[in-house]
Structure formats: C-alpha cells, structure tokens
Structure 1
C-alpha cells in the first residue's frame, strides 16, 4: 500500500542523461564521488526523498555541471 513516500516529488533527476552525455557509467560515478551505486541508483530513478548538499556538490564536481543540470522540476 502506497504512502506519502510513494508520491511524486515534482523533481526529476537527470543523472541518466548527464552520464550518457559524458560516456560515464553509474559505477564510475560511484567510484569518483564516493557514493554507493545503490544510493546513486535511488537518486537516478527518482526514488530519492532527499539529498545531502555535499553529495549534490560532489556529483556536480565530477560531472562538471550545475545543480540545475542534475535536478529539474518535473
């Protein structure tokens, strides 16, 4: 049975698109950022309910992008 955590947030994570544009795998991003593949997968598949600013900054540093490139309004 679905609860509040199953409802859409209105935020879409563009991690798949950014990785494809850079020819990078989720595994490589995980290694370079120091975040587990499982946690990145949750984010990538729009199932994350929150993200630490430090994680977001690390992802942006590795991908050479801005926060608004990673997270957009759905």
Structure 2
C-alpha cells in the first residue's frame, strides 16, 4: 500500500496554484511538484505542518492510502 498526497485536490478546492502555495509556505515549486506527482519518498513534519496550515486542513486530509504498490525511485525529500 502506498501513501498518496492529495495536493492536486486541495489546490483545486482552494483555487490556488502551485506557485502561490510555494510562495506562501516557502517550499520550492520543484519539491511541491514531487509531492503532487507522487514521487516523494518522504516529507518533513515541518513541511507537512506548513502545507496543512496554509491549506487549512489536517494531515489526514492531505495524505491518503492507495492500493497500488509504492513507486520505486530516489526523489528528494520535500
């Protein structure tokens, strides 16, 4: 089972761009894109906290589970 990041859905619901979120939380667009595309292998608690604060959600809203196996790769931490 893979952990998924529901960043696309959260941005859509809030009518916010990835660039705007990047500016607000201080995380690069490249790292947010890694999260958004499911290529991230880890996320710092501080990043998760900043995203949840800005998106006005809980980690449970932002993260989910998928029945698909985790993708292989060595993406950087966000």
What TM-score bracket applies, with the shorter chain setting the length?
Answer: 0.7 to 0.9
Stretches of structure 2 lacking an aligned partner (at least 5 in a row): 67-78
Q: CA RMSD in A?
A: 0.8
> Which structure shows the higher helix fraction?
1
What's the TM-score, normalizing by structure 2? Answer: 0.82
Runs of 4+ in 1 over 4 A off after TM superposition: none
Number of residues of Structure 1 aligned to a counterpart in Structure 2: 66
* TM-score, normalization by structure 1: 0.87
1:42-61 correspondence to structure 2 within 5 Å: 42-61=34-53
Structure 2 CA distance, aligned partners of 1:50 and 1:59? 14
